[in-house]
Chain A
């Protein structure tokens, strides 16, 4: 009897997911806020690989990054009602949760992050390669998007790219970046501003 019920539940869940597969993110979040777990599954399927990529980038440790992935979507489940679409897209909110959790975990457990620059001087963002087990057909859109952003980042001077990477992926403050790089605070301010402006120009027309 239990097996029949489990199969039935899975069937219902699968049908619900199919019905929701074309629904925009913001509508799905509203449904999650009303307790619709199928809507959460659709959001998970859309963005889990991206969230895991961000967590892994920050933490450099697969098991811990998977914990952050689960915790991120648990927070979405718990606090979907607090999402305010007028302040920005769902992905911005989702990635901010994941990033904050990962940086918290990094600071708490003192996990060694990936180096800011690889031994050969190549930025690890640009050197990253997709997981070999990844379903490329399903993830093609995400990969193409990543390639476009990495290409734009590659056009930045290395010192500018380094500043925004240290700030975003490692949660470092302006002062910490200035100290780590040995540069004046004013230089750090300028590099961050120029990097973001250049990135915007290179990616104009992209929808993030």
Chain B
């Protein structure tokens, strides 16, 4: 399960390879298990590497990251928010354990840090190209880009073109143009919660021809060609799509009368709601 979780009480010891890579990238330790470079922090949070910006004081519009290169996304923290970039630490360990037989960028902690820092400014590592489609497709099991959850089925798209590598699903193909604003607020709230709760996956609205659609994506643009990371992203977005599809479809069904959905959604984050119950 790849939900965002609360921090552990004692920070794990950082492997030497990470310490060296962080030092080379200009990060300095601050003694609480975190490293900082400018306004970006780094920590090993259990099985996940997390980079994050400092908290922004203004309430964020969380779902505004689709199409940007890399894993950075906004998450809500109380009434504020920040940007995070997370990936499984095992992606580095796994790739180091198995020598890469394909001619791709070496997968080292430094490569991941370079990716994270470059994409923090919406940039792509100079000279980066996505891995060959044939290679990426060989990592997928048959049907792995198809999500069928009860009466709903969604087909994912593997985006591989110069400068972009991503997996994207349309959760809802067309938001009705006349959907009441309250329902749109509920859609935004559900998508914002999901983006905050689930690692790697970004959600939001995209234009699909004449339609406004709801999409979920994981963007690997600029990433080392890591099968482990790619599959973590695919599994994450599949889970989010399977979990959200029926809810999103219901919220977008204007013919469904609901007094409850005429009320504004809670402005509290999922963590705050859990603490209140």
A is bound by B: no
Residues on B lying within 8 angstroms of A by beta carbon are none
Interface residues of A (CB under 8 A from B): none
